[in-house]
């Protein structure tokens, strides 16, 4: 116990609002704080419990990955009664793809909560998805399946999972977004600028505004890709209104 | 509803004790009977619901597979605090291996409950595991995660999952069984006989008796394999007493 308290204290010292930020993401108060500390501890911290077992988020990823698979499986089973086993497997793998999990983790800024001895800029892109999985694992172990399911619905299914999109019926998010803006009499603007940053490859950044308000940003190696990415993000934000178009 | 009633009736006519047998396997009374009928309907029956969606166990396998993965993941996470992500993944894949699922389904005689237009003798070996997965899926959809978890503990984890065995510390079940018999002053006998049956390959069958009571049977392409298989089955039956030896 005193060990856990020490970690808690080190957290509190170094990052006073860890649990505040966390509560904001979770939408509930965590019961077992040590689980969430584990979910945001990188292996470079080299932490161990009394028995010498490593304390970091990697084992929690395994649990979170399994819970995501189950919840999405049951959701797709109910939602797509015509889909056979192969279809359901394919659809699930789209929802829990590495790329998608990374987006989910990035949108929640989970990387801000990590304790690590490695500079955060040195992490690869997969850190975002890994942290998201670990967080889901911690929620399951802390609060049980029902709670974990609710979190996945709130953070993955409601905002991001649309069967029509997954089926590839949406070819271009940009054209979908323009169509929607025209129909709803909204103005829109893609502000694109070259942005090399520290990368060797030339990058483009884009700010998409609807009715003069910035609704999404994105960065990619071509103008077209950056615009598509920003449109996709805006699509998710306005999903309910926009899916009526499809 | 009348459609479901028709299926129920056809079940009742053709196999009066379907739900009796099922209750025996489940250890509880099913709520949504149609789910279990689906779990034991082969695609050759060509059944469809009012909307034209196929009624057979294949989609339920997808759900059951996910639930098995989750429950085993959480179990291993708790049981093996020293195991890293790779270890946990490997251990789980042993528990839910095709071969193991087939054994589980076979031990419960699930094939007896199937409705099919194809003769049961024509099914491959995987039917046993597929039916087991479908049954687990039906339980989840019928009674929720907690119930499903309890079933998996009862039918998979308690009787079959032993970490030491999974880690490969048991090299030979036969020697383990002999050691245990000698220690406990039990007599044992492997009765082996050649048994070609309908197979092209020569097969051996073995009946293993402990204290003159047959405790397991097995069949394989060599005497040694058949003895080992029978010993393994006996091991699972006597697991609690025998694991003290390891």
pLDDT of A109: 93
Domain boundary among A166, A184, A212: A166
Same domain, B156 and B187: no
Q: State whether B73 and A63 contact (CB < 8 Å).
A: yes
Q: Do A84 and B54 touch (CB under 8 A)?
A: yes
**In chain B, how many domains are there?**
2
Domain extent for B219: 173-245
| Annotated binding-site residue? A167 | no
pLDDT tens-digit map of B125-172 = 999 999 999 999 999 999 999 999 999 999 999 877 777 777 776 667
Judged by CB atoms closer than 8 Å, whether chains meet at A63 and B54 is answered as no
> Could you report the per-residue pLDDT of A40-95, keeping only the tens digit for each?
999 999 999 999 999 999 999 999 999 999 999 999 999 999 999 999 999 999 89
Same domain? For B145 and B79 the reply is yes
**Which pLDDT score, from 0 to 100, does residue A229 have?**
87
- A107-166: per-residue pLDDT in tens? 899 999 999 999 988 999 999 999 999 999 999 999 999 999 999 999 999 877 777 777
B88 to A62: CB separation less than 8 angstroms, yes or no: yes
Is there a contact between B70 and A74 if contact means CB atoms under 8 Å apart? no
What local confidence, expressed as pLDDT, does residue B13 receive? 46
Task: State how far the alpha carbon of B49 is from the alpha carbons of A81, A129, B142, in Å.
Answer: 10, 39, 18
Considering the domain architecture, whether residues A136 and A181 belong to the same structural domain is answered as no
Of the candidates A52, A61, A70, the beta carbon closest to that of B67 is on A70
Start-to-end CA distance of chain B, whole Å, equals 55
- Give A241's pLDDT tier (boundaries 50, 70, 90): low
Q: Are residues A35 and A141 in the same domain?
A: yes
Residues B18 and B127 in one domain: yes
Using an 8 Å Cβ cutoff, are B208 and B189 in contact?
A: yes
- The answer to whether residues A214 and A96 belong to one domain is no
A133 annotated as ligand-binding: yes
CATH of residue A33's domain is: 1.10.1520.10
Calculate how close chain B gets to A59, using CA atoms only, in Å. Answer: 5
**Cα B24 to the center of its chain, rounded Å:** 15
Residues A149 and A183 in one domain: no
Of A5-19, A122-136, B92-106, B164-178, give the range with the top mean pLDDT.
A122-136
Distance CA B61, CA B39 (A): 8
Question: Both B156 and B177 in a single domain?
Answer: no
Q: What pLDDT is stored for residue B71 in this prediction?
A: 98
CA distance B243 to chain A (A): 24
DSSP 8-state symbol, A191: E
| One domain for residues B83 and B198 | no
Q: Are A121 and A144 in a shared domain?
A: yes
Q: Could you tell me if the ipTM is greater than 0.90?
A: no
pLDDT value of residue B239: 65
Percent residues over pLDDT 90 in chain B: 50
pLDDT-wise least confident of A110-124, B195-209, B232-246: B232-246
B35 shares a domain with B130 = yes
Chain A contacts of B88, Cβ < 8 Å? 59, 62
What is the three-class DSSP state of A200? coil
Q: What is the pLDDT of residues A81-92, one digit of tens each?
A: 999 999 999 999
pLDDT band at A180 (very low <50, low <70, confident <90, very high): confident
A225's CB contacts (< 8 A; 6+ apart) are A204
Q: Which of A52, A62, A74 is facing B73, going by the closest CB pair? A: A62
* Shortest distance, CA A141 to any CA of chain B (angstroms): 8
Residue A57 neighbours by CB under 8 Å, 6+ apart: A38, A39, A40, A41, A42, A130, A131, A134
Show which of A109, A141, A166 is a domain's final residue: A166
Please compute the mean of the pLDDT values over residues A188-197 and round it to a whole number.
82
Chain B residue closest to A65 (CA)?
Answer: B70
Query: Is the pLDDT reported for residue B7 higher than 80?
Result: no
Residue B220, CA distances (Å) to B189, B194, B197, B205, B224 in order: 18, 10, 12, 7, 8
């Amino acid at each position: 116990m005193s060990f856990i308290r020490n970690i808690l204290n080190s957290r509190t010292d170094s990052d006073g609002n860890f649990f505040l930020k966390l509560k904001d993401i979770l939408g509930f108060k965590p019961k077992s704080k040590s689980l969430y500390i584990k979910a945001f501890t990188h292996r470079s911290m080299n932490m161990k419990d009394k028995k010498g077992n490593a304390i970091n988020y990697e084992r929690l990823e395994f649990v979170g990955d399994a819970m995501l698979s189950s919840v999405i499986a049951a959701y797709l089973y109910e939602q797509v009664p015509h889909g056979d086993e192969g279809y359901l497997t394919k659809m699930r793998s789209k929802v829990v793809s590495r790329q998608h999990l990374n987006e989910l983790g990035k949108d929640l800024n989970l990387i801000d909560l990590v304790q690590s001895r490695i500079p955060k800029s040195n992490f690869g892109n997969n850190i975002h998805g890994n942290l998201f999985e670990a967080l889901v694992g911690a929620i399951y172990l802390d609060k049980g399946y029902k709670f974990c399911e609710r979190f996945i619905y709130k953070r993955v299914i409601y905002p991001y999972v649309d069967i029509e999109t997954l089926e590839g019926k949406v070819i271009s998010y940009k054209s979908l977004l323009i169509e929607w803006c025209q129909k709803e009499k909204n103005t829109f603007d893609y502000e694109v600028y070259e942005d090399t940053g520290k990368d060797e490859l030339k990058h483009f950044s884009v700010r998409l505004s609807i009715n003069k308000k910035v609704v999404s940003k994105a960065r990619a190696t071509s103008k077209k890709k950056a615009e598509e990415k920003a449109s996709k993000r805006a699509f998710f934000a306005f999903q309910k209104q926009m899916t009526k178009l499809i």
